[in-house]
Amino acid sequence: MMIGTIILLGLMRAFAALPLRFHYACAGFFSWLLKDVLHYRRDVVMTNLSRSFPDKKYKELEEIENRFYKHFGRIVAETIWFGGCRNPERLRREHLVEYKNIEVFEKAYSESKGVVVMNTHFGNWELMGGCLNYDYREGAALPEGLEPNDIVFVHKPLKNPVWNEVMKENRCAPVKRLGYNSYVSSDQILRHALENRDRKLILNLPTDQCPYSISRSDETVAFLHQETRTMIGAASIARKLGYSVFYMCLRPVREGLYEWEFTEICRDASAMTQQEIMSRYYELLQKDIEEYPWAYLWTHKRWK
C-alpha cells in the first residue's frame, strides 16, 4: 500500500470515527464548497438538467441544482462516516438504510441460478457495502447457502491509484472483518463470474454510466428525452448465465434514511434480449429520477 494511501486512510478513519450527526453538520459545508467555491462541474450539472427536463423553466432547474448540491454534500458526509463502520453494530444502530421488499429478492435468489442487480448513481450508492446489516427483521439471516463473498460488488477503477485504494477500503469497511474479497473491477467481472459459475452469485453492477471509450456497443435507449448509449455488461452477463435481473434503487426518504427497493426485470435473462433488459432498466430509473430529480448524480458526463 502506498504511503499516500496510508496517510489518507488514517485521516479519513479518524474523521469517520466521529458521530453521524457531526458529519451531517458538515454536509452543508461540503455542499457550499462544491457548489459555490470549487464550482464543481456546475456547467455539467445544468447542461444535464436542461436537456433532461426540457419543459422546466430556468428557475425550476436552479432549484433542482441547489437541492442536488445539498444532497451531494450529504453523500460526502455519509460516505466518510461509513468508512468507520468496521463494527457492524455501529451501522445498524444508525438505521441509515432499510430494505423495503427484501422478501421479493430472496425468493428470486432461491429460485434462480444467480442474480444480477443493476444499480444506479441514485440516492447514496456508496452505502451498498453495508448490505448484510440492513435487514431489521427479527431473526433475519443470509439465505441458505449464501456466503458474504457470493455478493460481488463491481466497480470502475479510478484513475488515481491512491483514491482507488481508499474508496475500496471505505466501501468494504463493514465486511472487512469477514475476509471479504469480492470487490471486482468492471473489466474483470465476466471472468470472475465464469470462473465461479458453480456458485450462486449476486452480482451488483453500476449500469447507468456512459459506456467505456473502447466499447463497441451501439445499443441505445430513450432516457430523459435523449438517445442514450447503454452499458450492456450487466445484461450480457445475466443472459450468458441465465440469471435473474433486478433494478435496485436506494431511495432517499429523509435525511438519515434510505429505502432499498428491488424491482424484478426478469427471472431468467436468457429469455430476454439485451435491448429489452436495458430499456426496462432505464424506464425504472427515469421514473425514480422524475420523482426525486435532485437525488441523481448529475455531475456525470453521461451524454458524450
How many structural domains does the chain have? 1
Q: Is residue 280 within 8 Å of residue 247, measured between CB atoms?
A: yes
303 inside domain: no
pLDDT tens-place string over residues 235-277: 999 999 999 999 999 999 999 999 999 999 999 999 999 999 9
First-to-last C-alpha distance (Å) of the chain: 35
CB atoms near residue 137 (< 10 Å)? 10
Centroid of chain to Cα 272: 24
68 inside domain: no
176 inside domain: yes
248 inside domain: yes
**Which triple of cell numbers denotes residue 228?**
442514450
88 inside domain: no
Residue 1: the pLDDT is 63
Domain that holds residue 109: 97-295
**Which triple of cell numbers denotes residue 255?**
435525511
pLDDT at residue 203 above 90?
A: yes
In single-letter form, the type of residue at position 268 comes to D
Residue 107: pLDDT band (50, 70, 90) is: very high
Predicted structure pTM score: 0.94
67 inside domain: no
109 inside domain: yes
70 inside domain: no
Residue 84: the pLDDT is 94
